[in-house]
Amino acid sequence: MTFNEFVFYLFAAILVFAALRVITARNPVHAALFLVLAFATSAGIWIQLQAEFLAIALVLVYVGAVMVLFLFVVMMLDINMTRLREGFAAYLSLGALVALVLVVEMVIVLGGQYFGLTGSPPPPPLPADYSNTRELGRLVYTDYVYPFEIAAVILLVAIVAAIALTLRRRKETKYQDPARQIAVRRKDRVRIVKMPAEKRD
């Protein structure tokens, strides 16, 4: 076993363990933290595949931003496990269907050689100055510029929609208008009243 293989199997074992704990952990915060571990480990495996841009983007986007917000929400929720279990039977059939689809997909991918699919040859070794990031940028902005732009527009629509959801005004919420706060002058708030001092008896 070469050092490379050893690293791969180590990372794969950690990844499988973390992924299992995500669905078996009782505490939702522990589950979310195991998901973070799973993301970080798969980033390590991607680096072994020389896909360093994707690996760093995975850590940056999912570990650094998405999971932070996820944890943020999970920590604040009051999760009642007994109430969550109530709907178990109702969702069982749907869950079983999804699981079945996943199993079929995995069988097709992993057992490709039994269905007449031959594995693609390993990619040729890359030169030392090969830049994964530059190559990806070149592809995305030249050959695949239209799909990329369409994806960007869809994301923009999602952003606008998410912001629009927060725009409803609630009566009990108090807003502060910084422009008005800054524009306040002394005479608006303080009135100096001159009063004669009380007469001494």
Partner 1 sequence: MSGVLQPFVSLGHWAWGLLVTIVVWIFGHDLAPSVLYAIKVLLLIICIVAPLMVAVAYLTLWERKLIGWMQVRIGPNRVTFFGIRWLGGLAQPIADGLKLLVKEIIVPAGANKFLFLLAPVMAIMPALAAWAVVPFDPELVLANIDASLLYIMAVTSMGVYGIIIAGWASNSKYAFLGAMRSAAQIVSYELAMGFALVGVLMAAQSLNLVEVVRGQQGSYGFLNWFWIPLFPLFLTYLIAGIAETNRAPFDVAEGESEIVAGFHVEYSGMTFAVFFLAEYANMILVSTLCSVMFLGGWLSPFPASWPVLGAPNFLWLLVKVFLVVSTFLWFRATFPRYRYDQIMRLGWKVFIPVALTWIVVLGAWMQTPLWVWWK
Residues lying near partner 1 in the complex (CB under 8 A)? 3, 29, 33, 36, 52-53, 56-57, 59-60, 63-65, 68-69, 71-72, 75-76, 131-134, 176, 178
CA distance 16 to 37: 10
In the bound state with partner 1, the residue whose beta carbon lies nearer, of 90 and 165, is: 165
What the block records as the tokens of 188 is 């608006």
CA distance 23 to 32: 10
In degrees and rounded to multiples of 5, residue 49 shows phi and psi of -85, 10
CB of 87 to partner 1, least distance (A): 27
CB of 13 to partner 1, least distance (A): 20
CB of 124 to partner 1, least distance (A): 19
CA geometry: angle at 56 spanning 52 and 58, to 5°?
115
Q: Which residues contact 29 (CB under 8 A, 6 or more apart)?
A: 71, 74, 75
In the bound state with partner 1, the residue whose beta carbon lies nearer, of 12 and 63, is: 63
In the bound state with partner 1, the residue whose beta carbon lies nearer, of 86 and 129, is: 129
In the bound state with partner 1, the residue whose beta carbon lies nearer, of 110 and 163, is: 163
CB of 98 to partner 1, least distance (A): 30
CA distance 197 to 201: 12
